[in-house]
C-alpha cells in the first residue's frame, strides 16, 4: 500500500473546486472549473473527457499540484493541498505525482537519460542513473538513452516523458492528452505502457483524452463541460472483461452528486502481480527518496 493506512481513503479527493482566471485586470472572469467534486481511489484508471475548453487541463494541473484551486479543497493522500507550502508542493510534484504532458516538456539540451533523472535529482534519489535506464528500458528506449529530444521521434519523446513520470514510482500518473500528437501505432504503444503501469504496478492513472478508444482503456470515464462534471461512469474494461473494478455504477450527473465510494475497491489496493514480460526491473518499493 502506497498511500495511507486507511484503504478507504481516496488518493485524490476534490471538493467543490472552482478555478477562476482573471483577465484584463480582473474585468473578465473565466470559470475554468466550477464546483468540481471527484474522489479517485488507489489503483483506478480514470479517463477525463470533454470538449476543448471544458477545463480538463485546469483540473489536471490542480491534481498535479502545479496549480491551486481558487475555491474548494483538494486532498492528496489525505493531506490538504491548500495548506501546503511551496516546498511541500514541490515535494509532491517530485515524488507523488508523475505528469505526462501533451507537449512532452523535455529539456532540449539534456539527453533522454538526464531528462528522466531530473525529478529524482530534485527529490534526492539514490541510484538515479540505474533507475533512469530501467525506466527508459521499460518504455522501450533502452538503446536511446543518450539521444537528445530533437534526436528522437515524437512517439519516442512522449515515451521519454512517460519514463520521466514513472521513474519516481508515483502514486498517481497524470497524462494530459499523452497521445494527442501521435499516430495510431504509437498511440497504442503508449497506451499499453500506461495500462501496464496501472495493471501491474497498481499506479493510479488519470488520462485526459478526446478519443473514445483511448478512454476505452479506462475503468472510469469522467466528462467535463464548462468546468463542471456532467458524467462519471464506471465501465467494464473490455481488455479485462468483468474485472471487479469495472462493477457498473449508476452514472451520475451534475457536480454535487458524484458518488465517491467504490465498493470492493480495497481488494485491489495491493499491486497486481507483474506480468512475466517485459521484465519490470524497476525494483518497486526497493528504494525511494531518502
Ligand X SMILES: Nc1ncnc2c1ncn2[C@@H]1O[C@H](COP(=O)(O)OP(=O)(O)OP(=O)(O)O)[C@@H](O)[C@H]1O
Q: What is the binding site for other proteins (CB under 8 A)?
A: 61, 64, 66-67, 86-87, 90-91, 93-95, 99, 101, 105-107, 109-110, 118-119, 121-124, 164
Nearer CB in complex with other proteins: 46/60: 60
- Residue pair 260/11 in contact (Cβ under 8 Å)? The answer is no
Among 58, 134, 171, 195, binds ligand X (CB under 6 A): 58
Q: Is position 179 an interface residue for Mg ion (rule: CB under 5 A)?
A: no
* CA distances (Å), origin 67, targets 21, 64, 70, 93, 246: 12, 8, 9, 11, 31
Name the minimum Å distance from CB 120 to other proteins: 9
- Residue pair 40/206 in contact (Cβ under 8 Å)? The answer is yes
Among 56, 144, 164, 235, binds ligand X (CB under 6 A): 56
Choose from ligand X, Mg ion, other proteins, none: what does 277 bind? Cβ within 5-8 Å by kind: none
Q: Is the dihedral of CA 150, 156, 157, 161 positive or negative?
A: negative
Name the minimum Å distance from CB 54 to ligand X: 4
DSSP track, 132-174? HHHHHHHTT-TT-TT--GGGS-HHHHHHHHHHHHHTT--SEEE
Which residue, among 220, 261, 260, 213, has the nearest Cα to 243 in the 3D structure?
A: 220
Q: Is position 57 an interface residue for Mg ion (rule: CB under 5 A)?
A: yes
Nearer CB in complex with other proteins: 77/269: 77
Nearer CB in complex with ligand X: 55/170: 55
Q: Is the dihedral of CA 103, 108, 112, 117 positive or negative?
A: negative
Eight-class DSSP state of 288 = -
CA distance linking residue 169 with residue 24, whole number of Å: 41
Residue of this chain nearest to Mg ion (CB atom): 57
**Cα 24 from chain centroid?**
32
Compose the 13-32 pattern: x for residues touching ligand X by CB under 6 A, - for all others. --------x-x------x-x
Choose from other proteins, Mg ion, ligand X, none: what does 90 bind? Cβ within 5-8 Å by kind: other proteins
Name the minimum Å distance from CB 57 to ligand X: 3
CA distance linking residue 215 with residue 22, whole number of Å: 32
Residues that bind Mg ion (CB under 5 A): 57
Residues that bind ligand X (CB under 6 A): 21, 23, 30, 32, 50, 52-58
Amino acid at each position: 500500500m502506497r498511500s495511507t493506512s486507511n484503504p478507504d481513503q481516496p488518493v485524490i479527493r476534490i471538493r467543490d473546486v472552482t478555478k477562476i482566471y482573471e483577465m484584463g485586470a480582473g474585468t473578465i472572469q473565466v470559470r475554468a472549473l466550477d464546483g468540481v467534486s471527484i474522489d479517485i481511489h488507489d489503483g483506478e484508471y480514470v479517463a477525463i473527457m470533454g470538449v476543448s475548453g471544458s477545463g480538463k487541463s485546469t483540473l489536471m494541473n490542480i491534481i498535479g499540484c502545479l496549480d491551486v484551486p481558487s475555491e474548494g479543497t483538494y486532498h492528496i493522500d489525505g493531506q490538504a493541498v491548500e495548506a501546503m507550502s511551496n516546498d511541500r508542493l514541490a515535494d509532491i510534484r517530485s515524488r507523488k505525482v508523475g505528469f505526462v504532458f501533451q507537449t512532452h516538456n523535455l529539456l532540449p539540451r539534456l539527453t533522454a537519460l538526464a531528462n528522466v533523472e531530473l525529478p529524482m535529482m530534485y527529490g534526492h534519489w539514490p541510484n538515479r542513473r540505474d533507475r533512469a535506464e530501467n525506466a527508459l528500458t521499460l518504455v522501450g528506449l533502452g538503446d536511446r538513452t543518450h539521444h537528445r529530444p530533437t534526436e528522437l521521434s515524437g512517439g519516442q519523446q512522449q515515451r521519454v516523458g512517460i519514463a520521466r513520470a514513472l521513474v519516481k514510482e508515483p502514486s498517481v500518473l497524470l497524462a494530459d492528452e499523452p497521445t494527442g500528437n501521435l499516430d495510431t501505432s504509437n498511440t497504442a504503444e503508449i497506451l499499453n505502457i500506461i495500462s501496464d503501469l496501472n495493471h501491474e504496478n497498481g499506479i493510479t492513472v488519470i488520462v485526459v483524452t478526446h478519443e473514445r478508444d483511448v478512454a476505452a482503456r479506462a475503468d472510469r470515464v469522467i466528462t467535463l463541460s464548462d468546468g463542471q462534471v456532467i458524467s462519471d461512469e464506471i465501465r467494464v474494461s473490455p481488455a479485462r472483461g468483468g474485472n471487479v473494478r469495472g462493477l457498473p455504477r449508476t452514472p451520475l450527473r451534475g457536480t454535487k452528486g458524484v458518488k465517491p465510494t467504490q465498493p470492493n475497491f480495497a481488494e485491489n489496493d495491493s499491486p497486481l502481480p507483474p506480468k512475466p514480460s517485459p521484465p519490470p526491473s524497476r525494483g518497486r518499493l526497493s528504494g525511494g527518496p531518502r
